[in-house]
Amino acid sequence: MAETPPLDPAPAGEALLSMNEVTLRFGGVTALDAVDFHIDRGEILGLIGPNGAGKTTAFNVMTGIYQPTQGTVTFDGEVTSGMKRYRIAKRGIARTFQNIRLFKAMTAFENVMVGADAQHSTGPIAALLGLPRYRREEAAGREIAHELLDFVGVRGRADELAGNLSYGDQRRLEIARAMATRPKLLCLDEPAAGFNPSEKQALMELIRSIRDRGLTVLLIEHDMRLVMGAVDRLVVLEFGRKIADGTPAGVQNDPAVIAAYLGVDEDEVEEEVDDAS
Ligand SMILES: Nc1ncnc2c1ncn2[C@@H]1O[C@H](COP(=O)(O)OP(=O)(O)OP(=O)(O)O)[C@@H](O)[C@H]1O
Ligand SMILES: [Mg+2]
């Protein structure tokens, strides 16, 4: 299939990624319904919503696992919907998965090296010949891998098999591996799932320090209260539709959002609010 031709480079200040009226249907299920939002460069955007709202599906569309039924995705000034997954990844989107996907029989260090290797410009022949350029890239990759293991707090366990790491370390290792591909946008799908409150808090701090390194972060989380303090902005999905988009404080008091989370009618929330005031 022919690739979508690149657009002009995005002007400074333009969104890093835009979902433009994206609809995705699976047979009779509309997983995303004309979803329209953007991610600004350098921000932490929280993508929240109840089970089945379409959060993971939105990731899958951005990263090219699914093609939209309608609408487009643009990333860094190019239309990326329609591109193959590896091309989108090369343009600078990395992700982690809701269910951990590590190479369990490889060490923590090797798992991160897989991410770093994906960025090599030299191919397998240069590697076989041991060409200097390949050796330089290899050395740089190792340095980055160690630094990232340190950054996420898994340094001491670099040589352990990923499958033997604690659950929390596996989650953090997955983040390090994604970062090793040197993405512009890092998408994290419920990275704090299964964590206790203090682990969750520590992870939110890690995510803020990831942003401080210059990455843009898209964070899927189920727990609205948890993301409130960590994100710059929130997009809320319910049944595949965007129901809110704004600052944490604004979204928190939005009757449609409260209703979605309580599983009640928006009118009921509005009545409660009226009664209380
Ligand atoms: N491959 C698929 N085939 C059919 N339906 C799918 C597929 N993937 C997702 N869906 C449906 O699309 C809807 C959105 O699912 P999605 O996994 O995106 O929700 P989510 O917001 O990530 O939920 P959760 O919080 O449970 O992870 C659901 O109704 C789901 O059953
Ligand atoms: Mg999901």
Relative to the alpha carbon of 33, which ligand is closest? 1
Nearest CA to ligand 1 atom 12: 31
Residue 97 within any structural domain of the chain = no
CATH number where 10 lies = 3.40.50.300
Which pLDDT score, from 0 to 100, does residue 4 have?
Answer: 46
What is the spatial distance between Cα 268 and Cα 274, in angstroms, rounded to a whole number?
10
pLDDT of residue 229: 87
Looking at all shown ligands, the one closest to residue 236's CA atom is 1
- Is residue 117 domain-resident? yes
Query: Looking at residue 34, what is its pLDDT?
Result: 98
Q: Which protein residue has the closest C-alpha to ligand 1 atom 25?
A: 51
- Model pLDDT, residue 259: 85
Q: What is the CA radius of gyration of the chain?
A: 20
Q: Do 7 and 109 lie in a common domain?
A: no
Based on the fold, state whether residues 20 and 107 are members of the same structural domain. Answer: no
Find the angle CA(83)-CA(216)-CA(210) to the nearest 5 degrees. Answer: 130
Residue 30 near ligand 1, beta carbon < 6 Å: no
With respect to residue 98, please indicate whether it lies within any of the assigned structural domains: no
Residue 266: its pLDDT value, please?
73
For residues 195-219, b (16+ Cβ closer than 10 Å) or e, as one string?
A: beeeebebbbebbeebbeeebbbbb
Position 55 scores a pLDDT of: 96
pLDDT tens for 147-182 read 999 999 999 999 999 999 999 999 999 999 999 999
Instruction: Tell me if 223 is assigned to some domain.
Output: yes
Of 180, 195, 217, the residue that ends a domain is 180
Question: In this structure, are residues 37 and 246 in contact, taking their beta carbons and an 8 Å threshold?
Answer: no
Find the 205 Cα to ligand 2 centroid distance in Å. 22
Measure the CA–CA gap between 108 and 162, rounded to whole angstroms.
5
Residues 130 and 190 in one domain: no
* Residues, CB-to-ion distance under 5 Å, ligand 2: 55-56, 98
Q: pLDDT in tens for each of the 277 residues of the chain?
A: 444 444 444 455 579 999 999 999 999 999 999 999 999 999 999 999 999 999 999 999 999 999 999 999 999 999 999 999 999 999 999 999 988 899 999 999 999 998 777 666 666 666 666 777 777 777 888 999 999 999 999 999 999 999 999 999 999 999 999 999 999 999 999 999 999 999 999 999 999 999 999 999 999 988 888 888 899 999 999 999 999 999 999 998 888 888 887 767 777 767 766 676 6
Global pTM value:
0.88
Please tell me whether residues 120 and 246 are part of one structural domain. Answer: no
> Where is 257: in which H helix or E strand?
helix 255-262
**Is the domain of 231 the same as that of 274?**
yes
Q: What's the confidence (pLDDT) of residue 156?
A: 92
Domain that holds residue 170: 103-180
Would you state the pLDDT for residue 276? 65
- Tell me whether residue 224 is in a domain: yes
270 Cα: distance to centroid of ligand 1 (angstroms): 29
Q: Are residues 78 and 194 in the same domain?
A: yes
Are 254 and 213 part of one and the same domain? yes
Distance CA 219, CA 235 (A): 10
Q: Within this chain, do residues 195 and 277 fall inside the same structural domain, yes or no?
A: yes
Give yes or no: residues 210 and 240 share one domain: yes
Which distant-in-sequence residues (6+ apart) come within 8 Å of 39 by Cβ? 15, 16, 17, 18, 45, 185, 216, 218
Q: In this structure, which residue's CA is closest to atom 3 in ligand 1?
A: 26
Q: Which atom of ligand 1 is found nearest the CA of 57?
A: 18
120 and 245 co-located in one domain:
no
Show which of 157, 180, 203 is a domain's final residue: 180
147 shares a domain with 277 = no
Q: Which residues of 10-46 are buried (b: 16+ CB within 10 A; e: fewer)?
A: beeeebbbbbbebbbeeeeebbbbebebbbebebbbb
Query: Given the CA of residue 190, which atom of ligand 1 is nearest to it?
Result: 27
Q: Which atom belonging to ligand 1 lies closest to the Cα atom of 220? A: 22
What is the number of structural domains in the chain?
Answer: 2
